[in-house]
Amino acid sequence: GAVVSQHPSRVICKSGTSVKIECRSLDFQATTMFWYRQFPKQSLMLMATSNEGSKATYEQGVEKDKFLINHASLTLSTLTVTSAHPEDSSFYICSAPKPYSVKFTDTQYFGPGTRLTVL
């Protein structure tokens, strides 16, 4: 298998503060990482795709200036929620395919997620 860690697992912050979430591939290199979020009773929804060494691509409706993604190395992608507000409270989770994986048919490996609560 392959291991992806995510930190922190839970964060509570005040409205207006910024929060950084780290996603690390521990035993493989990840040129691509996906960031999803899940609101209560909803499915995991893709927010953005993080690519090592280039700009992230964001899904429609996701503000790139609010959700800053940095994929500076082959094992680390960070998601920073800037000026967080209560409506940003959600569950954020990352995933990565292994290198040279076949795009649609190979397994993706997930972190355990981060529960963000903005007061």
Partner 1 sequence: ILNVEQSPQSLHVQEGDSTNFTCSFPSSNFYALHWYRWETAKSPEALFVMTLNGDEKKKGRISATLNTKEGYSYLYIKGSQPEDSATYLCASPNYGGSQGNLIFGKGTKLSVKP
Binding site for partner 1 (CB under 8 A): 4, 9, 32, 34, 36, 41-46, 49, 57, 93, 95, 97, 103-113
Beginning with the edge strand found earlier in the chain, give each strand of the sheet holding 76-81 in spatial order.
Answer: 4-7, 19-25, 76-81, 67-73
Q: Nearest distance from residue 108's CB to partner 1, in Å?
A: 6
Give the shortest CB-77-to-partner 1 separation in angstroms.
Answer: 13
Nearer to partner 1 by Cβ, of 65 and 102: the residue is 102
Rounded to the nearest whole angstrom, what is the least distance from the CB of residue 103 to partner 1 in the complex? 4
Q: Which amino acid is at 85?
A: H
CA distance 38 to 89: 10
d(CA 24, CA 59): 22
> CB-wise, 14 or 100, nearer to partner 1?
100
Q: Cβ of residue 29: shortest distance to partner 1, in angstroms?
A: 16
| Of 78 and 95, CB closest to partner 1 | 95
State which residue, 2 or 68, has the beta carbon closest to partner 1. Answer: 2
